Structure 1
Amino acid sequence: MYSFNNDYSEGAHPRILDALVQSNMEQTVGYGEDSYTKKAAEVLKQRIEKEDIDVHLLVGGTQTNLTVISAFLKPYEAAIAANTGHILVHETGAIEATGHKVISIEVEDGKLRPEDIKPVLELHSDEHMVKPKLVYISNSTEIGTIYTKSELEQLSKFCMENKLILFMDGARLGSALCAKENDIELSDLGRLMDAFYIGGTKNGALFGEALVICKDSLKEDFRFHIKQKGALLAKGRLLGIQFLELFKDDLYFDLAKQANKTADLLKDGISGAGYKFLTYSPSNQVFPIFPNEIIEKLKEKYLFSIWEKVDENNSAIRLVTSWATKEENALEFVENLKKLGIY
Structure 2
Amino acid sequence: MKNSHPLQKARIFVDNKNIGMYNFKNDYAEGAHPLILNKLAESNLEQELGYGEDQYSAAAKQLLRKAIDNDHAAIYFVSGGTQANLLVISHFLRPHEAVISAKTGHIYANETGAIEATGHRVITVTGAEGKVTAQDIEDVMQAHRMRPHVVKPRMLYISNSTELGSIYHKTELQQLQQVCKKHHLLFFIDGARLGHALCASSNDLQLQDIASYADIFYIGGTKNGALLGEAIIFRTAKLADDFDYSLKQKGALLAKGRLLGIQFLTLFTDELYFDLAKHANHMAEKIARSIQAAGYQFLTAPVTNQLFPILPKQLIERLLHNYAFYVWSAIDAEHDAVRIITSWATDPAVVDQFCVDFNHIDQALKAGS
Shift of 1:217: 4.7
C-alpha separation in 1, matches of 2:127 and 2:82: 22
**Inter-partner Cα distance in structure 2 for 1:281 and 1:96:** 32
Gaps of 5+ in 2: 1-20
Please report how far the alpha carbon of residue 298 of structure 1 lies from its aligned counterpart in structure 2 after TM superposition.
Answer: 1.0
Is the CA contact 2:104–2:163 (under 8 Å) kept in the aligned structure 1?
A: yes
Deviation at 1:332? Answer: 1.1
Contact in 2 for aligned 1:72/1:218 (Cα 8 Å): no
The residue that corresponds to 1:107 in the other structure is 127
1:228-248 CA-to-partner distances (Å, cap 9, x unmatched) read 111111110000000000002
Indicate conservation of the 8 Å contact 2:285/2:302, yes or no: no
Among residues 34, 47, 53, which one is paired with 1:14 in the alignment? 34
Matched, 1:284 2:321: no
Q: Does 1:264 align with 2:285?
A: yes
TM-score of the pair, normalised by structure 2:
0.92
Find the counterpart in structure 1 of residue 23 from structure 2: 3
Q: Distance in 2 between matches of 1:258 and 1:286?
A: 15
1:125-140 alignment runs, 5 A limit: 125=145, 126-140=147-161
Q: Give the aligned partner of residue 89 of structure 2.
A: 69
TM-score (norm 1): 0.98
**Which residue does the alignment assign to 1:198?**
219
Contact kept in structure 2, 1:30 and 1:236, CA below 8 Å = yes
| Structure 2 counterpart of 1:88, one-letter code | Y
List runs of 5+ in structure 1 lacking aligned partners.
Answer: none
Aligned residues: 343
TM-fit CA distance, 1:277: 1.0
Identity, % of aligned positions: 52
> Aligned ranges for residues 116-265 of structure 1 at < 5 Å?
116-125=136-145, 126-215=147-236, 217-265=238-286
Whole-Å Cα distance in 2 between the matches of residues 148 and 215 of structure 1?
24
CA deviations 1:278-335 (Å, max 9, x no partner) are: 1113110011111111111111101101111001111000000000012222121111
What one-letter code is carried by the residue in structure 1 that aligns with 2:264?
A: F
Greater C-alpha radius of gyration: 2
Runs of 4+ in 1 over 3 A off after TM superposition: none
Q: Does 1:24 align with 2:44?
A: yes
Residue 216 of structure 1: how far off its partner (Å): 5.1
Say whether residues 1:316 and 2:316 are aligned partners: no
For the residues of structure 1 that align with 2:44 and 2:235, how far apart are their CA atoms? 32
Contact 1:195 1:215 in 2 (8 A): no
In 2, Cα distance between equivalents of 1:215 and 1:156:
16
Does the 8 Å contact 2:127/2:133 carry over to 1?
no
